[in-house]
């Protein structure tokens, strides 16, 4: 029977050590391999010059390095760039890089499409094709690093692209461990944000992982009736249970939970909504990201007029709630929040 080859990008340093040992070399070869993959961004076994040739050929038989192929890079006027990435089976996902002063943030996808069907989200119209593997999540950073060259350093990672990270829990957590591990990518957890539509059991599980990453909750409404209309997930996990899970989430010192709130004209942008929002997050170390809706065709929603957006923010600030307006980046290239969608490709025949 043919053995399934493992994606080296999905293995933690200790797993690379175990693999190396299994292939007949000392464990430290695994650490050398990790340094090539994660620190030096070298994804060609042939170029890993300090590894014995025989070991590299064994690796090539047993494993692969699953860097997705960059199919297209679309630059935006605001400096962000959308990467369309093609995975080994022909599926496509998007990753977006967003520069902001000395930051370079990469927005990652965790699923091909999404099954949560939020009414304001273009990705949600695709439905869910499949989960990404941990290697495919990590591979998005590898592909972007390769395309940007050695001088560009991605400083922050946000799990806010296509898909719901906590619905692909195991792969998301494995990818987080790879991003954080000092001998893998070595990111500080404070520079990583996982965004969720509000999967309560996922939040509770994540709370026990001790990862210390930032959590962003897609809230988007202040009553169950409106949230149900916007986000079908609210039928299973209404506001009360979601906010209770947020209150129990162990936030590291000086970290705050982010609540994402897309502003939709005449739907959730009234002064009453703003006041209810202050009550919902009261007592939580929270900040609110207000996201004026990014129009897409044929969405039934519109962006509120600017004075209404500013008035909503002002009410939150008056009540002592930190609230920023996030003018999404990449709007002109369909890369802004809720705008990521890729037409499906015919799947490649498996080998
Ligand atoms: S907002 Fe997030 S969870 Fe909702 S449909 Fe879009 S990608 Fe899925």
What CATH number does the domain containing 13 carry?
Answer: 1.10.150.530
What domain range includes position 318?
Answer: 69-333
The continuous run of DSSP H or E covering 172 comes out as: helix 169-180
Verify that 100 and 225 share a domain, yes or no: yes
Verify that 126 and 191 share a domain, yes or no: yes
pLDDT at 340: 66
Question: Among 31, 49, 64, where does a domain finish?
Answer: 64
The answer as to whether 351 is a domain residue is: no
Verify that 50 and 183 share a domain, yes or no: no
The answer as to whether 342 is a domain residue is: no
Verify that 59 and 73 share a domain, yes or no: no
Scanning the structure block, which residue is given the tokens 């004209």? 265
Verify that 75 and 57 share a domain, yes or no: no
Domain with residue 96: its CATH number is: 3.20.20.70
Is residue 30 within 6 Å of ligand 1 at its C-beta?
no
By three-state DSSP, how is residue 275 classified?
Answer: helix
**Into how many domains does the chain fold?**
2
Verify that 39 and 131 share a domain, yes or no: no
The answer as to whether 350 is a domain residue is: no
Is residue 164 within 6 Å of ligand 1 at its C-beta?
yes
CB-based burial label for 1 (10 Å; 0-12, 13-18, 19+):
exposed
Verify that 188 and 108 share a domain, yes or no: yes
Q: What is the DSSP letter of 45?
A: G
The answer as to whether 213 is a domain residue is: yes
pLDDT at 46: 95
The answer as to whether 234 is a domain residue is: yes
Q: Which atom of ligand 1 is nearest to the CA of 124?
A: 5
pLDDT at 332: 66
pLDDT at 336: 55
* pLDDT tens for the chain, residues 1 to 351: 566 899 999 999 999 999 999 999 999 999 999 999 999 999 999 999 999 999 999 999 999 999 999 999 999 888 899 999 999 999 999 999 999 999 999 999 999 999 999 999 888 888 999 999 999 999 999 999 999 987 789 999 999 999 999 999 999 999 999 999 999 999 999 999 999 999 999 999 999 998 999 999 999 999 999 999 999 999 999 999 999 999 999 988 889 999 999 999 999 999 999 999 999 999 999 999 999 998 877 888 999 999 999 999 999 999 999 999 988 666 666 655 565 666 554 433 332
Verify that 123 and 57 share a domain, yes or no: no
Q: Which of 93, 96, 161, 164 to mutate to test the pocket of ligand 1 (most atoms within 8 A of CB)?
A: 164
Verify that 130 and 190 share a domain, yes or no: yes
Give CA 264 to chain center in angstroms: 23
Verify that 30 and 123 share a domain, yes or no: no
Q: What is the DSSP letter of 188?
A: -
Question: Among 24, 39, 64, where does a domain finish?
Answer: 64
Listed residue (131, 94, 138, 104) closest to 115, CA to CA:
131
Verify that 51 and 81 share a domain, yes or no: no
Is residue 116 within 6 Å of ligand 1 at its C-beta?
yes
Backbone φ/ψ region at 139: left (φ over 0), alpha (ψ -120 to 50), beta: alpha
Is residue 139 within 6 Å of ligand 1 at its C-beta?
no
pLDDT at 350: 31
Which residues are paired to 196 by β-bridges? 217
What residue's CA is closest to ligand 1, atom 5? 124
């Amino acid at each position: 029977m043919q053995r399934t080859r493992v994606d080296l990008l999905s293995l933690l340093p200790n797993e690379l050590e175990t693999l190396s040992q299994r292939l007949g070399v000392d464990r430290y070869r695994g650490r050398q391999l990790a340094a090539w993959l994660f620190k030096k961004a070298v994804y060609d076994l042939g170029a890993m010059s300090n590894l014995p040739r025989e070991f590299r050929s064994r690796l090539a038989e047993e494993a692969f390095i699953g860097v997705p192929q960059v199919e297209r890079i679309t630059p935006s006027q605001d400096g962000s760039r959308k990467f369309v990435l093609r995975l080994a089976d022909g599926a496509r996902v998007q990753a977006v890089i967003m520069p902001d002063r000395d930051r370079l943030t990469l927005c990652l996808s965790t699923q091909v499409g999404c099954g949560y069907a939020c009414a304001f989200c273009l990705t949600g119209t695709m439905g869910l094709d499949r989960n990404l593997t941990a290697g495919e999540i990590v591979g998005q950073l590898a592909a972007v690093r390769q395309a940007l060259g050695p001088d560009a350093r991605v400083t922050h990672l946000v799990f806010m692209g296509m898909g719901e990270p906590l619905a692909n829990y195991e792969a998301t957590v494995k990818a987080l461990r790879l991003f954080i591990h000092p001998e893998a990518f070595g990111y500080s957890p404070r520079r990583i944000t996982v965004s969720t539509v509000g999967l309560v059991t996922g939040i509770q599980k994540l709370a026990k992982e001790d990862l210390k990453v930032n959590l962003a909750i897609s809230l988007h409404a202040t009553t169950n009736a409106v949230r149900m209309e916007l986000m079908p997930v609210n039928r299973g996990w209404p506001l009360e249970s979601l906010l209770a899970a947020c209150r129990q989430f162990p936030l590291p010192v000086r970290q705050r939970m982010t609540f994402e709130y897309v502003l939709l004209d005449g739907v959730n942008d009234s002064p009453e909504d703003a006041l209810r929002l202050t009550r919902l997050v009261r007592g939580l170390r929270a900040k609110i990201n207000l996201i004026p809706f990014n129009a897409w065709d044929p969405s039934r929603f519109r962006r509120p007029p600017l004075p209404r957006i500013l008035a909503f923010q002002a009410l939150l600030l008056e009540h002592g709630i930190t609230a920023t307006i996030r003018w999404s980046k990449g709007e002109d290239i369909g890369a802004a929040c809720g705008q990521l969608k890729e037409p499906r490709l015919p799947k490649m025949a498996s080998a």
